[in-house]
Amino acid sequence: MTTIFERTATALATLAPAIPYALAPYQTSNNAALPDVYIAYQLITSPPEQHADDAETLRRYLVQVSIWSRAGLVTLPDVDAVMLTAGFQKSDWRQLPRDPATGHFGLAKDYTYLEGV
């Protein structure tokens, strides 16, 4: 069975190597500088959606994909296309505060995935 982490990583892998990604928090090896654009993802919630015969039958996952860019938020990688292709549905977006230490602007995009258990 594929986990939600594997499913998300597989979707985002189609953007690599041009856009590096990682499970949040994004970290570089040997304290190298962060790339100009990168993606970090994390699971926010995973409530059960349906039960039958005293067993869970459906679970909904909410995954946040955060895109970070030093150039601003106008031209970002098409994360929607790869997530929708992987079976996710778009949800909320929100701007993240600019990181004063690195100069990155951030946009968090939420995606849901309904999975039969």
Structural domain contains residue 40: yes
- Look at the chain and report how many structural domains it folds into: 1
| Per-residue pLDDT tens over the stretch 14-40 | 999 999 999 999 999 888 899 999 999
DSSP 55-92: EEEEEEEEEEEEEEETT-SSS---HHHHHHHTT-EEEE
- Residue 59 belongs to what domain range? 4-26+36-116
pLDDT interval class at 1 (50, 70, 90) = low
Convert the pLDDT of each residue in 39-59 to its tens digit.
999 999 999 999 999 999 999
Q: Is there a domain that residue 66 lies in?
A: yes
For residue 31, being part of any structural domain is answered with no
Residue 104 included in any domain: yes
Domain of 53, CATH number, reads 3.30.2000.10
The pTM assigned to this predicted structure is 0.94
Inside any domain, residue 99: yes
